[in-house]
Chains A and B, each alone.
Chain A
Amino acid sequence: MKKFLSILLTVLLSFGLLAGCKGDSKDNSVTEDSTTKENSKEDMKGKKIVVGRWGGNDAETAAFNQVVKDFTEKTGIEVEERIYTDYNTEFQAELIGKTAPDVVYIDAYMAPFYISQGVLMPLDEQEFELDKFYEPLKNAFLSDGKYYAISKDYSTLALYYNKKWVNEDDIPDTLEELWNGDFLTNLNDKLPEDVIAMTYNQDLARNLFYAETDGASVIKDDIYSNLGDSKVVENLEPLYTSAKEGKIKTPADIGQGWNGDAFGNEKTAIMIEGNWVLGHLQQNFPDVDFGVIEIPTFKGNRGTMTFTVGYAINVSTKQVDAAKEFIHYATGVEGMATWSAGAGVLPSRTDVTESTKVAEDLLKMPHIKGAVYATVWQKGTTMDTINNEYKNYIPSVVSGERTLEDALKKSEEEANRTIEAN
């Protein structure tokens, strides 16, 4: 019920935003010379900004507090944090009420929506040293040649295997071979009865990078679903052929909530999962001995998904300079190093990756490698509808009720009907 109410509220708020919260979209970013900057830094002492973010685990909270403490010591600007438990609902209500924070987390997935509403301030590429950021992460907040948020960290997907049953060298180099070759069948044969070879997800957030291989696109004309496109169908065929043959299963099929629990409880030998699972496995399933490698290639290309969150400035803020100063510090070399080392996340800057030596961690290294070639989980403002229909129709493919082509065509029609109605 609460989830339903949240969704309802989000829809209402979205209308409210469209109706009355269109912010000033003029470019407020200005380039200043270094002398002016120093003077303005002096002027900023004693100023106060509000930073909106969602909560994290204890390590993330401690790391954020440390970044804020260091920033305040350095600049004299005070930071008040505002923590969201339901970010989209609360943030949109604050935008309507003109009480939104000066600086706020923006999930790359939601960025197109907030950018289109004109509530985020464009940020200068040079000022925030965006040339130092991984290209996909930097571009996650790019719209019409302007950047609207600066990535603070990221996650990518990689392949996890249980060393008890799987030898790294035996894992095929391509996804086609992994899904459709004999490897999984042979692995299934030697596993205990209640363990399966591999789990997978029926979600575009996980499947997008191979669905769009070789120039395919799940969206056409910027908003409409294009899932029924023959190229998309062809790209998804190997995955669902494997699923139909029972070689791979979803965590739900084996009574598990998600891949992390299925892998931790040793119900699956292989999964493709994000680096957020590392802490979870170490905390709750310390006995599981596992390795991590990059996802095998698909049609000869390396691919993975990346998920990132950036700092953005509320266009209505009265503390533009102080807000910029905060983002400058938090996404700069020092701030990002403190944040990523403390919170155990991956730094979005290449120079911080090097300085913190995070790539030396064998479990994180495959995730870091993915940052260069990853597909960002972000695709316009209608992706929720498209993905929902995809998730609705895919089970009928696995059960043999429909062909993949039929299911994707049907999901495309349903999604487009909803998009047109809205």
Chain B
Amino acid sequence: MNKKSKKLKWLLYAILIIYGLVTLFPFSWTVSASFKSYKEITGGGLNLIPKQPTVHAFKKLFMIDPNFLRWIFNSFYICTLGTFINVFLNSMAGYSLARLDFKGKNVIYYGVLISIMVPGQVLLIPNYLIVKSLGLLNSYNAIILPAAVNATYIIMMRQFYINFPKDIEEAANIDGLGRLGTFLRVSMPLAKPAIATQAVFIYLGFWNEFLKPKLYLSDPSKYTLTVGIQSMMSRYSGITQWDEVMAASLISLLPILIIYIFLNKYFMQGIRMDGEK
């Protein structure tokens, strides 16, 4: 390595380290602030080590707040059920578009593609009216059912199954499996990376979903964590109790972090989308 490229390498490292610190700092501050008192947070200073560490905010969330644990459960319930339904239906739809021949297949495919391009916000009111007429308002199903399929991941699964080796399915077919059996027992299990990738994204999508739960859920005990945290921000006459909000935000990050750590291997494979075993 010559002198010039060595210098460039160090410069690149320096830029990356600075960028890394800038990116990491807000998150580190959130973690630190959740262990500070309100007075210390608002007193200024960007110190990451709390002067007088306290778990008061966590105590308040778990021991005094009547709804916080319930919000965590609600988010888990909606995310888990929603993700399972999504993964199953998206995979089925993607598989159908990739493997089956039927009339209007291309029309449906382009229809799915077009639906990705419609901004979600535009559909909020029609969706609200549909949810209302189905009698789902103020229920978990109001969040889960309208989002039971996702066009983006249907396309993703279609691409996956297009590249998926046909020979494996044909071998299963020779061994006596029908179309559904082949899909459930051969194609789905071999699509683990793609499924894991969409599962992570769908789970994240449900976990971070804000507008729909806010619009559809009116009972505080049914709030998801995002809506719950937002309600915490305004409950003291519009004054945000930052220590509690930071602690709640930190807690809301943990499940996603754990899921990502578990599924990281599949996630990275899934990004390749090459259908290898």
Q: Which residues does A use to contact B, with CB under 8 Å?
A: 2, 5-6, 8-9, 12-13, 16, 54-58, 60, 82-86, 89-90, 93, 96-97, 99, 155, 255-258, 260-261, 264-265, 267, 276, 279-280, 284-285
Contact = CB atoms under 8 A, between A and B. Distances in A.
A256 B129 CA distance: 43
A205 B55 CA distance: 37
Contacts of A13: 125
Given A5-B211, A54-B234, A55-B231, A284 B125 contact: no
Contacts of B211: 2, 5-6, 9
B238 A93 contact: no
21 contacts: A5-B211, A9-B124, A9-B211, A13-B125, A54-B234, A55-B231, A55-B234, A55-B235, A60-B235, A85-B223, A86-B230, A90-B214, A90-B218, A93-B125, A93-B128, A96-B125, A96-B129, A97-B137, A99-B137, A261-B42, A284-B37
B238 A284 contact: no
A96 B125 CA distance: 8
Contacts of B220: 55, 83
Interface residues of B, number: 31
Given A16-B125, A83-B231, A265-B43, A276 B214 contact: no
A89 B212 CA distance: 11
B121 A89 contact: no
B251 interface: no
Nearest to B220: A83
A85 B230 CA distance: 7
Nearest to A280: B239
B38 interface: yes
Contacts of B44: 255-256, 265, 267
B39 A284 contact: yes
Nearest to B208: A2
Interface string B128-155: 1100100001000000000000000000
B227 interface: yes
Interface of B: 37-39, 42-44, 64, 121, 124-125, 128-129, 132, 137, 210-211, 214-215, 218-220, 223, 227, 230-231, 234-239
Contacts of A279: 236-237
A22 B170 CA distance: 62
Given A5-B211, A56-B235, A280-B237, 19 more contacts: A2-B230, A8-B121, A12-B121, A12-B124, A55-B234, A56-B236, A58-B64, A60-B235, A82-B218, A83-B220, A86-B214, A90-B215, A90-B218, A93-B125, A261-B42, A265-B42, A265-B43, A276-B237, A280-B236
5 closest A-B pairs by CB: A276-B237, A261-B42, A85-B231, A82-B218, A284-B38
Nearest to B235: A55
B226 to A, nearest CB: 9
A10 to B, nearest CB: 11
B240 to A, nearest CB: 8
Give the interface SS of chain B, mostly helix, strand, loop or mixed.
Answer: helix
B42 to A, nearest CB: 4
Contact of A57 (B38, B125, B227, B235): B235
Nearest to B243: A284
A260 B239 contact: yes
Contacts of A55: 220, 231, 234-235
B205 to A, nearest CB: 14
B215 A12 contact: no
Contact of A264 (B42, B231, B235): B42
Contact of A285 (B39, B132, B218): B39
Contacts of B235: 55-57, 60
Given A57-B235, A276-B238, A265 B218 contact: no
A261 B41 CA distance: 10
A12 B125 contact: yes
Nearest to B232: A55
B129 A89 contact: no
A196 to B, nearest CB: 13
Contact of A276 (B128, B215, B227, B239): B239
B128 A96 contact: yes
A64 B245 CA distance: 24
A85 B214 CA distance: 7
B69 to A, nearest CB: 16
Contacts of A257: 42
Contacts of A12: 121, 124-125
Contacts of A8: 121
Contacts of A9: 121, 124, 211
A99 B125 contact: no
B227 A85 contact: yes
A5 B214 CA distance: 12
A155 B38 CA distance: 24
Contacts of B137: 97, 99
Contacts of A97: 128-129, 132, 137
A9 B43 CA distance: 35
A6 B210 CA distance: 10
Contacts of A86: 214, 230
Contacts of B125: 12-13, 16, 93, 96
